[in-house]
Amino acid sequence: PAAMAGGWGVLLALLALQGTGAVKVGNVMLQVDLYQRAESLQQEGGQYLFSFDGDEMFHVDLQKMETRWRLPEFGQFTSFKAQAAMQHMAAEKQHMELLMLRSNRSQGTIEPPEVTVFSEDPVELGDPNVLICYVDKFWPSVINITWLKNGQEVVDGVFETVYYLREDDTFRKFSYLPFVPTRGDYYDCRVEHWGLPKALLKHWEPQVPLPVSESTETLVCALGLAVGIVGIIAGTVLIIKAMKMNSGRNARGPL
């Protein structure tokens, strides 16, 4: 699928995907090869990834020729020769050229992303936490995700995953920002994609209850006391009235 759109000229983003499912009962291990060219950006490249039940196990850094385990612990139990990914990429590049010809460079449907921002752990002021920007259901796999803190771009500590393929052939991706929740700070995850008319900003700020000030405490205390006193007076008045009515009835009774 090649794509074309007015504002940004011609894009040819070609995907050649190949999934090999090695199925064990209940679990799915998937090898996903991706190769694409974005002509408007003069960018060409691929991605080689293994997933298990939808979670990334590892991908190969094709520039550095290194296997990147999603959790470093995985690398202690097994290994993967990064060079193997190169042969796959060469094959996928050929597939891409072939598909471009066959599809007559026709345009693929651009799907804009859905963006959600949330924290890894429940927010406590002063407790280190991680903000997660989850970008979902977009196509093609050309996207910019950036973090803004109080309106200023931040790059320190930011970690971004590779593109994960969804079952409907669109993509999802995560970006992580370590942070310390502080009152008054606010964050935005900024996403740029060809499916969006302009950069999308997803706002986030810590939702923490305001501290109860001393004067508020005093006020609540005084109000409570006042309500209590009024209650005691009203109760006493009612009891006296009831006693009077009773004695009145009793007095009249025998007559």
Ligand X SMILES: *[C@@H]1O[C@H](CO)[C@@H](O)[C@H](O)[C@H]1NC(C)=O
Q: List contacts with ligand X (CB under 6 A).
A: 104, 142-144, 192-194
Helices (H), the chain: 74-77, 84-102, 214-252
Q: In the block, which residue shows the tokens 């995953």? A: 161
Q: Which is closer to ligand X, CB of 185 or CB of 192?
A: 192
Contact 194, 5 (CB under 8 A): yes
For ligand X, the closer CB: 61 or 192: 192
Give residues with Cβ within 8 angstroms of 203, minimum separation 6: 117, 186, 187, 188
CB of 106 to ligand X, least distance (A): 7
Residue whose CB is less far from ligand X, 142 or 165: 142
Smallest gap, in angstroms, from Cβ of residue 103 to ligand X?
A: 8
DSSP 86: H
What is the residue-wise DSSP string for 209-252? Answer: PPPPPHHHHHHHHHHHHHHHHHHHHHHHHHHHHHHHHHHHHHHH
Residue number, 85 or 191, with CB nearest to ligand X: 191
- Of 143 and 189, which has the nearer Cβ to ligand X? 143
Judge whether 76 and 67 are in contact, CB under 8 Å: no
Distance in Å, CB of 174 to ligand X, minimum: 17
Pairwise CA distance, residues 191 & 114, whole Å: 10
> Which of 70/173 has CB closer to ligand X?
173
CB of 51 to ligand X, least distance (A): 24
> Could you tell me the smallest distance in angstroms from the CB atom of residue 102 to ligand X?
9
Distance separating alpha carbons of residues 70 and 228, to the nearest angstrom: 61
Shortest distance in whole angstroms from residue 143 CB to ligand X: 6
CA–CA gap between residue 198 and residue 121 (Å, rounded): 31
* CB 165 to ligand X: min, Å: 18
Helix (H, G, I), strand (E, B), or coil: what is residue 130?
strand
Q: Alpha-carbon distance 17 to 95, whole Å?
A: 9
